[in-house]
Chains A and B, each alone.
Chain A
Amino acid sequence: MRRIVTLLAALVGIALASPASATLQIDVNQGNLQPMPIAITDFGGAPGQNVASVVRADLDRSGLFRPLDPKSFVDQIKGFNVPPNFANWRVINAQALVTGQETIQPDGRMKVAFRLWDVFGEQQMIAEEYTTTPESWRRVAHLIADAIYQRVTGEKGYFDTRIVFISESGPLLNRKKRLAIMDEDGFNPIYLTNGSYLVLTPRFNPTAQTIAYMSYIAGKPRVYVFDIDSGRQEMLGDFPNMTFSPRFSPDGNRVVMSLEQSGVSDIYSMDLRTRSTTRLTNDRAIDTSPSYSPDGRQITFESDRGGSQQIYVMNADGSNSLRISFGAGKNGTPVWSPRGDLIALTKQDAGAFRIGVMRPDGSGERIISDGWEDEGPTWAPNGRVLMFSRTLRGGHGSQIWSVDVTGRNEQRVATPGDASDPAWSPLIQ
């Protein structure tokens, strides 16, 4: 009992005294947006050096990291399983450190392991290991870059993805347009079609490695679905008129597209399993460029039903359509972010085409690219980065560019020759 009383007395005393040791309340609400300095050491073994350099290039390209030059490293990593001497990495201002090890297994397979260290907190942030065939070393590097990106930003990475695009070659009057695919960093480009027929607007299935696009096979413009792994191509439905602007639903089971009839176009959706179609819009205007919300419950599209080309949102069954873009100029090619928070668009105003984003209710519109003719945005699977086509002034070539959703880090994507109409794949399974 006495103990309790003394304890209570002491607590009262502390309660009274506590204002003296009051803590400062500090509200930090302004920051200094800068890429995070990260040291990525070479992984053990000759192929490992390549892995580290691909990881460095991936993170550098994201604009959120600044990989330090290995020549600036003052510390030697003693071994993969020995904690590094953090002070030596703080000296060169590294905030994070990546160490790695690469070994060839007795069965000939390659094992790559890495650790990500918090240099100031002096602790390990993640460690992972991948086993694969030695030829897949680039994919392993992308997977490691994705893991680091995700741990540091909270966002899933996008380096282990591919881009389909329209590769353009030949003279302006006789342009050869071929469907091509490459890794997100521009490596391993492959042509999927031979250029004997025109291919436009490729779109990735968000759940599988299949593409929908519009093609002029035998002079008839129709929507096709193409399986990348098997190379099989299939026409979607047999409509009497032109079908175009296809896009998959988030679950990959449906395709929405436009069907043209006597100068106007409406939006239809097709169930890929039953091949049954549903008409979603029905008016005397041009309704096109449909794109599903990530939950599959709504569709955004462009329409000139109000007099000029603007962006609308409707329920997935076609009901309750609502105009969301009201600013200056025309707005088109809306694409719903896989994250759901934004809709990307092409804005045509004052003679220029630029990429913008707005919230699904039409608020918060921002222009995020600064080209002269930028169009056709496509989202990275994490909803954080966009790619788009850029036509150079005077029509002198077309390129693919990428930009962060914040409008920062605009940069050209490496492509073999001229390229347009990019479509970003989901993360490779």
Chain B
Amino acid sequence: MSPSRSIIGNRISLASGAGDSRSPLGLVGAVLLHAAIIAATLFSFEHRLDIAQESPPVVPVDLVTIGAKTNITPTVRPQRRVAAEPVVQPKPEPHLAPEPIVPPKPQPLEFHAPKIAMEKSEPAPQQETPPQPASKPQPKKSSADNFQALLNKLSTSSSSQPANARIAQQTRKGFGAQDAMTMDLRDSLKNQIEQCWNPPAGAPHPEQLVVFVDLRLNPDGSVAGKPQLAAQSLTAVAGNPFIRAAADAAMRAIYVCAPYKLPAERFSDWRDSTVEFDPRDLAGQ
């Protein structure tokens, strides 16, 4: 009884306080601020619409203007790159993209071997082996192999753009995070994956169930090799059945929706991606 009265009393005093503080100056200020906000939203709106409707024509314009600035730095650097590239060229072709996919495949074959494999412990290591081969080769082999693995990345990019490789690198670098250029690709891939993602709704602590997957695609939009959990997700999966289930659901989404429909001429832009599966907005659904 008494608490409710005092609350009402508070409200009244607050309301009257607000009335006292009104003044013509404040009003003018408020009107000006509102006008400024409306103007600002109008500007940003038009800009976004332009990009959305005609992204291909707009992007090159940005490239040219910013590229002019960044061209200053690359002129110093090409020498270092030249040093790197000769090393690249001898070995790129033997180390084509399929290489990293090979190690996981022998494992499924091992399913033939355990004839009465019933224990939980037996299947578990098999299931968790795929990530391991990726890490094992590195410590075993010398730094030269590390080097080759790194070169693989480089080689694939250079082979996809053989003639203009250097120029493309420079201009893109100047373009920062390439947001505008690849925004349509991101949206397209995102929309396609979302159709197939069965998120872990109803699970406790959805904020812990965010999973990152490194995905590589083939030119026809199919999944190249096995998508891998990104490092931060890999460690989390080990001890938590909920995260493991979330990771499995993410993998299924990627497989089920493949092949992806993306513009073939821009393959190099969408070949590699890191997909974040975030169920936080879906909690409690």
Listed in ascending order, the chain A residues whose CB lies under 8 Å from chain B are 6-7, 9-14, 16-34, 36, 81-83, 95, 113, 115, 118, 120-129, 150-155, 339, 341, 364, 366, 383-384, 404-406, 408
Contacts and interface: CB of A to CB of B under 8 A. Distances in A.
A34 B199 CA distance: 9
B212 to A, nearest CB: 10
Contacts of B153: 14, 18, 21
A95 B252 contact: yes
A81 B196 CA distance: 31
A366 B284 CA distance: 9
Nearest to A153: B245
23 contacts: A6-B87, A10-B87, A14-B153, A14-B154, A16-B81, A17-B81, A17-B154, A20-B169, A20-B173, A22-B272, A24-B269, A25-B273, A28-B277, A32-B195, A33-B198, A33-B201, A81-B114, A83-B111, A120-B255, A124-B127, A125-B248, A127-B123, A154-B245
Contact of A24 (B127, B248, B272): B272
Given A127-B117, A127-B123, A406-B201, A29 B284 contact: no
A17 B275 CA distance: 22
Contacts of A81: 112, 114-117
Interface string B248-260: 1001110110000
A354 B186 CA distance: 43
B149 to A, nearest CB: 11
Given A22-B178, A121-B251, A127-B117, A154 B203 contact: yes
Contacts of B273: 23-26
Interface in B175-202: 177-178, 182, 185-186, 189-190, 193-202
A9 B79 CA distance: 10
Contacts of A82: 112
Contact of B147 (A7, A21, A129): A7
B112 A27 contact: no
A39 B75 CA distance: 60
The 3 A-B pairs of least Cβ separation, nearest first, read A13-B84, A154-B245, A31-B199
Contacts of A83: 108, 111-112
User: Which applies to chain B's interface (DSSP): helix, strand, loop or mixed?
Assistant: helix
A13 B274 contact: no
Interface string B199-231: 111111100000000100000000000100000
Interface residues of B, number: 86
B57 interface: no
User: Which applies to chain A's interface (DSSP): helix, strand, loop or mixed?
Assistant: mixed
B241 A154 contact: yes
A77 B197 CA distance: 28
Contacts of A404: 202
Nearest to B124: A126
A24 B284 contact: no
A25 B156 CA distance: 19
A19 B169 contact: yes
Contact of B173 (A13, A19, A123, A151): A19
Interface string B65-107: 0000000000001001101110100000000000000000001
Interface in B239-282: 240-246, 248, 251-253, 255-256, 268-270, 272-282
Nearest to B257: A32
B21 interface: no
A128 B243 contact: no
B140 to A, nearest CB: 18
A34 B185 contact: no
